[in-house]
Amino acid sequence: MGEQERSDETLTLQGVLLDIERLIVKLVAQRADSAEQPLSGSGQVPVRRATDFKAKEHQLSQSCLSSDGFEDEAEVYSSDKSFLPLVPQVVSPPHPCLPEPPQSETRFSRQVSFQPAMHYLDIDRDGSADGFDMHMGWRNIGDRSSCRSNRRNASMNLVLPSPTALRAATKKEKHYVKYMMKWRPAFACLASSLILHDCVMVPLLALDPRGAGDLLFKLLFWAVTLPIPFWHGATSIAVLDAVLVGLLFFELLSGITLLRGVQLLRVLRLAQLFKFTGFRRMASRWMHQSSREVRALVNILATLCLTAFFLHVLTCLWFSCGSLPNGWVDEEVRQLPKQDQYQRSLELALSRLHPSRLAENMMMNTQLERMLSLLATGSAILCGAVFTSIVTNDLSDIRRTHREQREAQNKVSDFLTIYPVSWELELQMKEYLYRNMCKVELPCKQDLSCMLPDFMYRELCREALTPVWAKHTFLHGLMMRHRSFQYDLCIQCLLDWNVGAHETLFSAGTKCDSMLMLSHGSVEYRTMDLCQVQPVESPKRSREVLTLTSFVQTRMSKEAEGDPDAVLHPGDWLAEACLWVHWQFMGKARSRSPSALICLSYQKLLAAVNLHKEASSDLILYARRFVAALNDLPEDDLTDLPIDVDLPDES
């Protein structure tokens, strides 16, 4: 009778024992060394007492006893590839996070082999064996976090003071900075326009000394903006502005034009004002992304503008020197209109520039004219040398780029003569080589780490890469809550990837190693049904020249792709599933314009989480919910696009 009662007790505990065995398998897989030592001696595992399981019986929910529906004789896969009937005793090392249960005199045991490859034990209670499983790293972290939660003492929670006053001061400062940033471009544009106006009108005072109609407006503007250089710490510029404003005030009161040409010294502020307008940043980015031909054209145009300004000033100086007694300006020239006087002076200035006219320049009437001719000739030689150097360097860069393009295309053509492919693929490769050889390669994050000090590089990565994740509510919130995790994620985990226009990022069926977050540009995505790869029917097609037939076929193949399923913009992401499960790309992504992407791999994220235990619990909970949402999707709806996940409550 005692054996029959013991058998009945065994049958009622089978569901509980299988759950405990599942936990033991995970623990023994982590501690394989300690689990294999008893097996080497006798071929059997140590025996645990039956009361060990009775001590934990009341901690399990009632659903664990009846939800599985196990039969009377459940089977477990043993070490000799055979199936053994399930008995009440489970052999395992003691759990490191649980207290040792009380000893008992009654002992009965069975032999169990713990195999890490028993995947059927990890299947959820719903029996979805064909679903996605989380990476083993997240499972291990989840097990460790559950053990730590059992040992955690509630009295050890650290309460920090609330930085309310600091937040209020920060908001006030941010409001002031935002206000100043709003009006600074307007001030810079107005000041730059006044300086450029002076560059044109002040030299013309040599022809018409009475042209001072806007003197009052300029005096008021520069007097009101006089404290601005002091606020920015530019003491030298502030002192210069004070002197120039004083000269304008004296000229307005006395009506005498006194050293009006000194006002042109404000040209030195154009670089700073151009920076304040925000156009400098836009222009530098546009220049950096443009081809070398465009940059050469812009350099030539800028040099021509400076040359025109120099010639304008020189023309007015020639007329001013010629207006002196015994000068070249006679009564006939004085009676001409202002436009004709300017034309005569311009013709004289151009005729005296060449060095071959040096002897004639030395025969001019006044000493001031002779000195001006020498200065003009020397300046013309210097400007010509600078212009020639700029043009020569730009043309040399263009020739070098074209030579590299031809060499790269020749290498591709030589390779394709041996291994022919379709004409469409060959055309894509040649277009790619042409686009990437024409532009300067953008620097990556690793390049900047060698140029900047450590503290500046860390702040750069944090401020530049954190806003990119604003649309991803969970990861962005996790970074905001854990500042140290935010630094390590932005510096060590995130890698930037710059691509050109019309480049294929990935195709369907390839293994996915990193999640892609778009930070700049646009990317189009198509599912696998819309991007079927057609095999090459004949290898001879790649050796043919571009004919009308191949051109029409290429156009038809591009039109056959149809509209993309989605167009991604900055802040959107692809293939997030690779962070939590083993994933393969389900579609094809292609850049529409030059784009920049941020890559986050599972291995780097796992390494960062291992260093920041405080962020692991939220991350594991999100991973479980993501995998559950992924398993709920039908197989036909699987995609690399973002999926809806119920975020855990922050409370």
Provide the percentage of residues in the chain whose pLDDT is more than 90: 9
Q: Which two tokens stand for residue 148?
A: 């730590």
The pLDDT tens digits for 226-235 are 887 777 667 7
Could you tell me where the DSSP H helices lie in 323-366?
331-334, 338-351, 358-361
Q: State the residue for tokens 């937040």.
A: 167
Under the banding of pLDDT at 50, 70 and 90, the label for residue 561 is low
Give the E-state strand segments of 166-265 in sequence order: none
Dihedral over alpha carbons 258, 259, 264, 269 (to 10 degrees): -90
More confident residue, 481 or 81: 481
| Rounded Cα gap, residues 518 and 469, in angstroms | 9
The pLDDT tens digits for 633-643 are 888 888 899 88
Strand partners, 85: 75
| pLDDT at position 335 | 86
User: Is residue 487 pLDDT above 50, yes or no?
Assistant: yes
Per-residue DSSP letter, 605: H
Query: In the predicted model, what is the mean pLDDT of residues 596-609?
Result: 90
| Rounded Cα gap, residues 198 and 258, in angstroms | 15
| pLDDT at position 600 | 92
| pLDDT at position 504 | 87
The pLDDT tens digits for 523-542 are 999 886 544 444 444 444 44
Under the banding of pLDDT at 50, 70 and 90, the label for residue 52 is very low
Query: In the predicted model, what is the mean pLDDT of residues 358-375?
Result: 88
Q: Where are the domains of the chain?
A: 2-130, 178-289, 291-400, 445-637
| Rounded Cα gap, residues 590 and 522, in angstroms | 9
The pLDDT tens digits for 97-148 are 434 444 443 433 333 333 344 333 343 434 344 567 777 767 676 666 555 5
| pLDDT at position 426 | 78
Selection from 227-236, 483-492, 549-558 with the highest mean pLDDT: 483-492
Q: Do 639 and 527 touch, CB atoms closer than 8 A? A: yes
Lowest mean pLDDT among 239-253, 493-507, 547-561, 581-595: 547-561
The pLDDT tens digits for 314-359 are 999 999 888 888 888 888 888 888 889 899 999 999 988 888 888 8
Single out the residue of 412, 201, 232, 186 nearest to residue 312, CA to CA.
201
Query: In the predicted model, what is the mean pLDDT of residues 456-470?
Result: 88
Q: Which two tokens stand for residue 522?
A: 């646009």
Q: Are strands 75-77 and 83-85 parallel, antiparallel or unpaired?
A: antiparallel
| pLDDT at position 86 | 39
544-549: long-range contacts at Cβ-Cβ below 8 A with a sequence spacing of 24 or more? 544/423, 546/423
As a whole number, the mean pLDDT across the chain is 72
More confident residue, 429 or 572: 572
Q: Which two tokens stand for residue 283?
A: 């222009």
Those residues whose C-beta lies under 8 Å from the C-beta of residue 547, and which sit 6 or more positions away, are none
User: Is residue 610 pLDDT above 70, yes or no?
Assistant: yes
Query: In the predicted model, what is the mean pLDDT of residues 491-501?
Result: 88
Under the banding of pLDDT at 50, 70 and 90, the label for residue 649 is low
CATH level 3 topology of 445-637: Jelly Rolls (2.60.120)
Under the banding of pLDDT at 50, 70 and 90, the label for residue 180 is low
Let me know the angle formed at the C-alpha of 302 by 298 and 308, rounded to the nearest 5 degrees: 145
User: Is residue 91 pLDDT above 50, yes or no?
Assistant: no
| Rounded Cα gap, residues 561 and 13, in angstroms | 59
User: Is residue 173 pLDDT above 70, yes or no?
Assistant: no
Instruction: Indicate the residue type of 101.
Output: P
The pLDDT tens digits for 181-214 are 567 778 888 888 888 888 888 888 888 766 555 7
| pLDDT at position 226 | 81
